[in-house]
Homo-oligomer: A and B are copies of this chain.
Amino acid sequence: MFHKVKKNKQKIVRPRPSTPKGFKDYFHLYSKKRVSLIKEICEVYELYGFENLETSAIENLDALGKYLPDIDRPNQGVFSWKDEENNWLALRYDLTAPLARVYAQHLKELPLPYRRYSWGPVWRNEKPGPGRYRQFYQCDADTVGAHSAVSDAEMCIMLSTIIEKIGIRKDRYVINLNNRKILNGILEAVGILNNNEIDKNLSDMVLRSIDKIDRLGLLGVKDLLGKGRRDDSGDFTSGANLNKVQIDHILQFINMKQDNNTKTLKNIKDLVGDSSTGNQGIKEIEQILELSEAAGVFEDRIRVSPSTVRGLGYYTGPVYEVELTEKIENEDGTVNEIGSVAGGGRYDDLIKRFTGQVIPATGFSLGVDRLLFALNQIKSKTETHEKGPIIITIMEKDKLSEYQKIVIELRRAGIKSELYQGNPKDLGRQLKYADKRGSKFAIIMGSNELNRGVVQIKDLELGSRISSQIKSHEEWKDQPAQVEILREKLIDFITNYSNNF
C-alpha cells in the first residue's frame, strides 16, 4: 500500500495514489453521459407512474439476505464490516434487496401497489476482471404488490420503451423471457422436486449452472449438472450430481429455443408434462406475450428463452433479460454480441423475509455502465467533443480586477469561461493549458490594449500548431490566428462566433 521515496537521505513513506483494485474514477465526458442516460431512463419510469426512492448505501447485513450467485466468495460477494455495537453493516449489492427492506419498514405509509424507481452505485466484493468493476451503476424499476403477470408484462413493455428511446434499433435487441416456475416444473417432472417440497439448495445449484451457459457453453453446464467441472486453471467446481436422465431432460429444456414462441411453448409443454407449477409458468408466459403484443411489442423483440434463468437467488416466477444483438469488434479482431444489458423478474418472497406475509413483487435492473459501453460501441464515433471554457489569460498581475470583470461579463452572458488560475508568469504555458482544455478562444490584454480600449482574441483551433513555441506577448502578436477587437464589443463577438460553431 505504501511506496518509499528517498529524500534528504531519509526515507519518507507516502501513500500510493491509486484506487483500490477493481475500482476506477470517471471523468467529465463519461460521468456526464451517465447522468444523462439515467435521466432519459427515469423519464420513462415516471411516465409509467413510478416514483423515485433513494435508499442509504449502507444496510444491516442481515437485511440484504444471501442471494448473490457467486456464493463461493467470502462475505457472499458483499463488502461488510462490524460497527461499534458489533452489528454487521454492508454496502448494498443491488437495489432490489434494499427495496424489500424499505417496503417492510414503511408498510403503513406507502401505497400498495408501491411503484418505485431507484438509481445509484452498487458494490460487489467479487473478483475484478477486464471491464468488470466492483462498483457500478444500476437503474431499477419495481412494482411491490404486483398481483399478476400483468405486472411482469408491463416490465417487459417498459424495457422495450427504454431500449428504443435511448437509440437501439428495433432489430438489434431482444427480450428473453422465461419463468422459474417452468424450470421448477421440469425439475418436478424428473423427480428432483416433489409437490412443492422444493429442495431449494439443489434447485439453486441447477439454475446457477444454467446461468453460466453463455460463458461455459452447453458442455460446461452439463458438467456442472453432473459430477462437476475443472476449469482451465485447474480449479474444480463440484456439481449437482444429477443422473443422466435428469441432466438430459434439463439440457433438452434449455436448448429448445425455437424460431417462434408458439413452437417453443409447445415443446416446453411436452417436457413439463402434468406438473401444475410448470403449467402455471407457461400460462403466465402466454399472458405476458399477449399483453406485450397489445402494447406493440411483438415476437420479433420478445422471445421465450428457456436458457434465461438469471443468477440471483430470489426470483420465483417470470424472469426477463434484454440482450443487445449488435455485433462489436474487440481489440483483438474477434467479433461478438454485446449481450445482456438489463434483467429482472418476479420475487414474491423477498418482503416476506421481514413481514411473514407474502407481498408479490416484480421489477428489473438496467446495468447503466454496461448500457453506456454498448451505446458508445453502437453510436457513430464522429460525435463532437464538448468545447472547453474561454480562457482569460493574465498578462500583468496588477490588472487582475480588469480580467476578473471580463470573466464575470462572459459568465453573465452564459459563456463558459475562466480566469487562468495557475502561475501566470509565462503566456505560452497559459495558452498550452487552454489548448489542453479544448478551448476555442483565449483572451489577452496588457497595458497597451487596456489603454487603447481593446482586447486580443486568440483562436486556439487555428493556432494550435504554433502556440507551443510562443513565449512572449510581442512574438504572439505576429501570429495569424489572432484578432483585435474593441473591449466593449467582446461579448457580442464571442456570442456571434459561438452561434456559428
Seen from chain A, the residues whose Cβ lies within 8 Å of a Cβ on chain B are 1-2, 5, 7, 12, 14-20, 23-28, 31-32, 34, 46-49, 51-60, 62-63, 65, 74, 79-81, 83-84, 87-89, 101-106, 111-113, 115-116, 121, 123, 134-135, 143, 145-147, 150-151, 153-154, 157, 161, 287, 290-291, 293-296, 353-356, 388-389, 391, 400-402, 404-405, 408, 411, 414-424, 433, 436-437
Closest to A435 in B: B111
Contacts of A411 in B (CB 8 A): 47-48, 161
Whether A401 touches B290, Cβ cut-off 8 Å, given contacts A25-B56, A143-B421, is: yes
Contact yes or no, B295 A1, CB < 8 A: no
Contact yes or no, A27 B15, CB < 8 A: no
Contact yes or no, A20 B145, CB < 8 A: no
Contacts of A63 in B (CB 8 A): 15-18
Contacts of A47 in B (CB 8 A): 411, 414-417
Contact yes or no, A20 B422, CB < 8 A: no
Contact yes or no, A57 B60, CB < 8 A: no
Contacts of A157 in B (CB 8 A): 408
A46, A146, A151, A418: most-surrounded residue (chain B CB, <10 A): A418
Contact yes or no, B1 A26, CB < 8 A: no
Option from B20, B111, B294 in Cβ contact (under 8 Å) with A433? B111
Whether A15 touches B353, Cβ cut-off 8 Å, given contacts A31-B54, A57-B135, is: yes
Other than the given A20-B83, A291-B404, 16 more pairs (CB < 8 A) read: A2-B62, A16-B63, A17-B102, A19-B59, A19-B101, A20-B89, A32-B52, A49-B437, A56-B135, A58-B134, A74-B84, A111-B436, A113-B420, A115-B418, A154-B421, A296-B408
Contact yes or no, B49 A416, CB < 8 A: yes
Tell me, in angstroms, the Cα distance from A18 to B437 when the chains sit together: 47
For the complex of A and B, 5 pairs with smallest distance between CB atoms = A49-B389, A49-B418, A17-B104, A81-B81, A23-B56
Q: For residue A182, give the distance in angstroms from its CB to the closest CB of chain B.
A: 22
Contacts of A408 in B (CB 8 A): 157, 294-296
Could you show 21 A-B contacts with beta carbons less than 8 Å apart?
A: A14-B355, A18-B63, A20-B56, A20-B83, A20-B87, A20-B89, A23-B58, A31-B52, A47-B414, A47-B415, A49-B418, A56-B135, A57-B57, A81-B81, A113-B433, A146-B421, A154-B421, A294-B401, A294-B405, A295-B404, A296-B408
Contact yes or no, B113 A388, CB < 8 A: no
Contact yes or no, B74 A147, CB < 8 A: no
Q: For residue A234, give the distance in angstroms from its CB to the closest CB of chain B.
A: 20
Q: For residue A292, give the distance in angstroms from its CB to the closest CB of chain B.
A: 9
Tell me, in angstroms, the Cα distance from A104 to B356 when the chains sit together: 52
Q: For residue A404, give the distance in angstroms from its CB to the closest CB of chain B.
A: 4
Q: For residue A480, give the distance in angstroms from its CB to the closest CB of chain B.
A: 25
Whether A294 touches B25, Cβ cut-off 8 Å, given contacts A74-B84, A421-B115, is: no
Contacts of A116 in B (CB 8 A): 28
Closest to A409 in B: B295
Contacts of A56 in B (CB 8 A): 19-20, 23-25, 135
Q: For residue A201, give the distance in angstroms from its CB to the closest CB of chain B.
A: 19
Contact yes or no, A49 B388, CB < 8 A: yes
Contacts of A16 in B (CB 8 A): 60, 63, 354
Q: For residue A78, give the distance in angstroms from its CB to the closest CB of chain B.
A: 11
Contact yes or no, A401 B291, CB < 8 A: yes
Contact yes or no, A356 B436, CB < 8 A: no
